A and B are shown apart, each in its own frame.
Chain A
Amino acid sequence: MAIQTSSNSRRERWVKALLPAVAVLAVYLVYHALGPNRKLKELNEELGDVAKNAVTPDMVANSLIQKKQAQTSFEELQTQIRSTEEGINASIAIFTGASQTEQMMAVGDLCRQYSVGIVKQQDLAGVEVSALREKSLRTLKQLLAPSELSFRQLDLVGRYSDITQLLKQIPETVQGVLPVGIELVALDGQRTDLETLSPDQRMWRVYLVM
């Protein structure tokens, strides 16, 4: 007996006719559920998160103002740095370029001009100065090359007024030579090298940086 697979009823014919449409619809619904709909759902969730952390134009404007203020501060600071650098360079410029021998010759000329005798002249690794001046000398050493900076000790013999004039003239006349310390050698009567001095002459020790 043949198995009846189709009753060819009206309902069956309608089902057959609409089956492709239903199949297309089912396939599309599955695709939509797994593809675009899922993506749309994820995007909507993302949109919610983004909307929660959204930034208003006012906040951006504030940040822009802050940036401009920071830029202005930075530029002002740069200007100050340049100005300070120029000041520093101007301060150290007097120590550079000149020959130390020529500077000493000029100092010697001044000593002769003011009748001050040079008893002794020697290079020093450093000079004994106050802590405050020590900082300044250390800074100068940092900024200058070692060959450009030296310390010199001069033992001088002369009258008080001449020494005063000499100390006044050295920084004014000889550029790049600065007195950083003086010492009046005491007359303790035991030093034979002072016996030849006239009554108004004294032994002076001057420390120069050049």
Chain B
Amino acid sequence: MLRSPKRPITLLVITRDQVLRADGKNGNLRTFFQSDRPARTPLPAAVELAISLSKEKPAQQTIVIADEIWTGVIDVDERSIAGLEGDELDQMLRFETETLSNLDPMNSQIGILELAPVPPDTRRFWCSAIASEVLAGINAAVMLRGGKCQFCTHPAGMANPEMRGIPWVEFTENLAGAYMIGGDGLPRASIAPRSKTSNRWYKAFELNFGSELPDEGWQLDSSAPPEAYTGNLQRIDTEEKIQHWINILASRLYHTTPIPVVAPPVPETTAAFMTQVGVIAATVITMASVGHFLWTKYEIQSVEQEIVSLREPRDEKLALERDIAKLTKQIAENTVSLTEQVIQRRELQLLTERSDRYADLLKQLAITCDQDIVVDDIKPSVKGIRLSGRALKSESPNMLAIALGPKALQMGWSVSPPSLTGENKLVNGGPWKFHLELADITPEAHLTETFQSTLANQAFGKEGKSN
């Protein structure tokens, strides 16, 4: 019945003469307060009195146990309640118990526990009932003190041994009860109001229980059991025994104690409350939506920033590649331009440098020509200069070409072998007309040929030395 042992509990036990408050948790009640109950005090007032015994506010699990709450067992024809359950069954049983409890079915609350059925077609219920206004008063008294009334019930059958199959009896001044849990797991109970005028109630009590009455049990006040009962009862008459009984009772609260209890009705939700709930729900949803929107916006911004941060190096690289391409293009253009300029410069150098080479050529001709050779004609040609002349010896033009060659190279001419034509006027076939071609050469060719001739001279010198 109570689900959380760690939460504190408050037990308010109200009897005809006394009120008692016990507080504790985990089934252990540590503080007990007890006081006399003023005569004719209504139950809600007695509850308030019990609460006020301690300065502590009652727990959120406050249980009111009062013998003013009606309890009893009724048998109902199965056919009359066939198909009923829940509120409908409660309402039906309120009407069924009206004659016993003397409570208005329309203004009372009932707690029921179905017991083992009575064959062949009877269902048996253990009921507890209390007037609605009394229940509301109890609930209000507990709530006003800051607690919460978990349920109300009659003390009968609460302090059971909780051992399956072991029955027990309880005798109070007005009631007698016998309880057991059968081997089939279904509870069995017989409760009978005691009469001071006859013992017939006892026979009915035994009969309803269905078997011999248990030997063990409680005697809850000074009222003695009937003489017919021969069992051994524990009498709860001293304060210590009361506390012991309450402790047993409290320890059983966390188990599925098979007793009927009456819980205060859950207050109906008002329109204002529903409006508040609606407003709060709408506000919470709106705030959650706004929060989610802001979070999404933040996510979008962070993703955009990440894209930008990833694109920055890419854009930078693209810009660099554009610059590189532009520079490469400019380099190519400048290379072409430079090549043209170098060619121009070389061509101009060809023209301006060695401008005295014609004088040098004439000088070299004067040096190298021997007596057997006469240069008659010097003419520009397509290749450079063409020398024409006559020689008495056929080898003289060749000797001239050989002698002129190295110097002519330095002056920018390449000397080709002479062409000879003998006139056959002399014995040896001479004189010979010859033509000598001096071809203009480029500086590179000039250098190359100079280098080659130098190498040739070096080689020739070596060979000459070796010879």
Contact partner of A137 (CB less than 8 A), chosen from B328, B351, B362, B380, is: B351
Expressed in whole angstroms, the Cα–Cα distance for A131 and B440 within the complex equals: 8
Quick one: given A17-B275, A37-B296, A67-B327, are A135 and B347 in contact (CB under 8 Å)?
yes
CB pair A32 B293 closer than 8 Å: yes
Quick check: is B113 within 8 A (CB to CB) of the other chain? Answer: no
Contact partner of B296 (CB less than 8 A), chosen from A32, A57, A81, is: A32
CB pair B362 A164 closer than 8 Å: yes
Quick check: is A115 within 8 A (CB to CB) of the other chain? Answer: no
A129 → chain B, closest Cβ, in Å? Answer: 6
Which B residues lie within 8 Å of A130 (CB)? 380-384, 439-440
Residues 289-312 (chain B) with a chain A CB within 8 angstroms: 289, 292-293, 296-297, 299-300, 303-304, 306-307, 310-311
CB pair B345 A43 closer than 8 Å: no
Contact partner of A60 (CB less than 8 A), chosen from B306, B316, B331, is: B316
Quick check: is A119 within 8 A (CB to CB) of the other chain? Answer: no
Which B residues lie within 8 Å of A112 (CB)? none
Quick one: given A43-B303, A74-B331, are A91 and B352 in contact (CB under 8 Å)?
yes
CB pair A132 B440 closer than 8 Å: yes
Expressed in whole angstroms, the Cα–Cα distance for A168 and B343 within the complex equals: 27
Quick one: given A32-B293, A60-B317, A87-B345, are A21 and B285 in contact (CB under 8 Å)?
yes
Quick one: given A55-B313, A60-B316, A63-B321, are A167 and B356 in contact (CB under 8 Å)?
yes
Quick check: is B426 within 8 A (CB to CB) of the other chain? Answer: no
Number of interface residues of B (CB under 8 A): 75
CB-CB nearest in chain B for A171? B355
Expressed in whole angstroms, the Cα–Cα distance for A60 and B318 within the complex equals: 9
CB pair A180 B306 closer than 8 Å: no
Quick check: is B337 within 8 A (CB to CB) of the other chain? Answer: yes
Quick check: is A191 within 8 A (CB to CB) of the other chain? Answer: no
Expressed in whole angstroms, the Cα–Cα distance for A16 and B281 within the complex equals: 12
Which A residues lie within 8 Å of B442 (CB)? 132
Quick check: is A3 within 8 A (CB to CB) of the other chain? Answer: no
Quick check: is A197 within 8 A (CB to CB) of the other chain? Answer: no
Which A residues lie within 8 Å of B344 (CB)? 88, 139, 142-143
Quick check: is B26 within 8 A (CB to CB) of the other chain? Answer: no
CB-CB nearest in chain B for A36? B296
Contact partner of B278 (CB less than 8 A), chosen from A20, A53, A127, is: A20
Residues 318-371 (chain B) with a chain A CB within 8 angstroms: 320-321, 323-324, 327-328, 330-331, 334-335, 337-338, 341-345, 347-352, 355-356, 358-360, 362-363, 366
Expressed in whole angstroms, the Cα–Cα distance for A113 and B60 within the complex equals: 143
CB pair B317 A84 closer than 8 Å: no
Quick check: is B465 within 8 A (CB to CB) of the other chain? Answer: no
Quick check: is A2 within 8 A (CB to CB) of the other chain? Answer: no
Residues 108-143 (chain A) with a chain B CB within 8 angstroms: 127-133, 135-137, 139-140, 142-143
Which A residues lie within 8 Å of B327 (CB)? 67, 70-71, 73-74
B367 → chain A, closest Cβ, in Å? Answer: 11
| Contact pattern, A 23-35, Cβ under 8 Å of B = 1, otherwise 0 | 0110010001000
Quick one: given A70-B327, A81-B338, are A183 and B274 in contact (CB under 8 Å)?
no
B351 → chain A, closest Cβ, in Å? Answer: 4
CB pair A172 B356 closer than 8 Å: yes
Quick check: is A77 within 8 A (CB to CB) of the other chain? Answer: yes
B447 → chain A, closest Cβ, in Å? Answer: 15
Contact partner of B378 (CB less than 8 A), chosen from A18, A40, A183, is: A183
Expressed in whole angstroms, the Cα–Cα distance for A47 and B300 within the complex equals: 11
CB pair A21 B281 closer than 8 Å: yes
Expressed in whole angstroms, the Cα–Cα distance for A5 and B349 within the complex equals: 114
Quick check: is A105 within 8 A (CB to CB) of the other chain? Answer: no
Expressed in whole angstroms, the Cα–Cα distance for A5 and B82 within the complex equals: 33
CB-CB nearest in chain A for B303? A43
Which B residues lie within 8 Å of A166 (CB)? 359
Residues 64-79 (chain A) with a chain B CB within 8 angstroms: 64, 66-67, 70-71, 73-74, 77-78
Contact partner of B289 (CB less than 8 A), chosen from A25, A128, A139, is: A25
Expressed in whole angstroms, the Cα–Cα distance for A2 and B302 within the complex equals: 59
CB pair B380 A183 closer than 8 Å: yes
Contact partner of B359 (CB less than 8 A), chosen from A37, A165, A184, is: A165
B307 → chain A, closest Cβ, in Å? Answer: 5
Quick check: is B55 within 8 A (CB to CB) of the other chain? Answer: no
Which B residues lie within 8 Å of A88 (CB)? 341, 344-345, 348
Quick check: is A99 within 8 A (CB to CB) of the other chain? Answer: no
Expressed in whole angstroms, the Cα–Cα distance for A131 and B350 within the complex equals: 12
10 A-B pairs (CB sep. < 8 Å): A17-B277, A22-B285, A24-B289, A70-B331, A84-B341, A131-B440, A132-B441, A136-B348, A139-B348, A184-B378
